[in-house]
Amino acid sequence: MKKFNHAIRWGIIGCGAVTEVKSGPGFQKARDSKLVAVMRRTGELAADYALRHKVPKWYDKVDDLINDDEVDAVYIATPPVFHKEHTIKVAKAKKPVFVEKPMSLNHDDCQEMISVCRENRVPLFVAFYRRALKRFIKIKNIINKGLLGDIRFVSVIFCRPPLKEDYEPVKHHWWRIDPEISGGGYFIDMASHMIDLLYYFLGDIVHVSGQAANQSGLYEAEDMVSCHFLFKNGIHGTGCWSFAAGRDIDRTEIIGSKGKITYQTFGVGSIEFEVKGRTEKFFVDYPEHIQQPVIQTIVDELLGLGKCPSTGQSAARTNWFIDQIIKSNS
């Protein structure tokens, strides 16, 4: 991999909503990092983004941004259906790739993306940014220190009522619930974060089986998923996700021989650590630009100063997990 000796100059393909606060400003605020170009198919929107975020250049064609000699690395923030195509183009231009999650539509696509990046000797990073947040690093440290004892099992429950957009006619549905564009529905979009954290905390998963269904009939994609899974180290797990429930629940419990830890993946509630009959609660805030910490790890790796915790290899495992459920129910 090429090591850079100057601030990393970033380009963004797809400067949509996710780049407004979550990611875009992070490229400008990370150390030794600059955002120098953005691209969107609608040129007026690209120009508007560049003006508001003080980005020097904008494009309305993917190839123009990729081939800009002043762009060192590219962040792909398009919908999943385009991730493989754009990753391959960036890799063949010999530039490092940072792609949004989920990594692609399925595990086979992920493997092709990894292969092309390897052949072109460029790194592939994926935006499972929770791996770099203090909130989840603290949980990992508690587990790694053995404070929970030997981990026995994990339980994931996530549910919420339908969004108002879900009641719109099919032709007005947004891309996140269009399987042709996203690969599925909200499960793939949101549960991928939760699944990736389990890999991060507990290691490889070797078996997954489950059911996916549409219970509400509001759209084509699944809105209910339940599963059980087994880690290589013998830890058992269960998960249940509903996007048409009557209330909000975001709870993951990791239970060991000495205690347990409970946390929210998306909420700002406390982390609860229970051991020997005592409960401690920790509050760890999120940064203003939630992707900035993982962006910093990528910049550091490109400069030879560190390692990013979220790579193509680690992210592809999440697509494999999802495929075991979605493909078996298709």
CATH class held by domain 134-285 = alpha beta
Overall residue count recorded for the chain in this entry: 330
Predicted local distance difference test score (pLDDT) of residue 170: 72
The full 3-state SS of 260-282, as one line of letters, equals EEEECCCCCCCEEEEECCEEEEE
Is the pLDDT reported for residue 260 higher than 80? Answer: yes
The pLDDT of 253-267, averaged and rounded, is 97
**pTM beyond 0.85, yes or no:** yes
H-helix or E-strand spanning residue 14: none
- Are residues 271 and 282 in contact, defined by beta-carbon separation less than 8 angstroms? yes
pLDDT of residue 171 exceeding 70: no
The domain spans of the chain are 8-129, 134-285
28: nearest Cα among 51, 55, 57: 55
- In the numeric block, which tokens belong to residue 61? 């064609």
**Per residue, what are the HEC states of 132-189?**
HCHHHHHHHHHHHCCCCCCEEEEEEEEECCCCHHHHCCHHHCCHHHCHHHHCCCHHHH
Is 3.40.50.11540 the CATH classification of the domain at 8-129? Answer: no
For the cut 70, the answer to whether the pLDDT of residue 242 exceeds it is: yes
As a whole number, the mean pLDDT across the chain is: 96
pLDDT: is 47 or 330 the higher one? 47
Q: Which of 270, 265, 276, 253 is nearest to 151 (CA)?
A: 253
Which pLDDT score is estimated for 119?
98
Render 47-106 in DSSP notation, one character per residue.
HHHHHHTT-SEEESSHHHHHT-TT--EEEE-S-GGGHHHHHHHHHHTT--EEEPSS-SSS
Region of poorest pLDDT, from 25-29, 37-41, 175-179, 322-326: 175-179
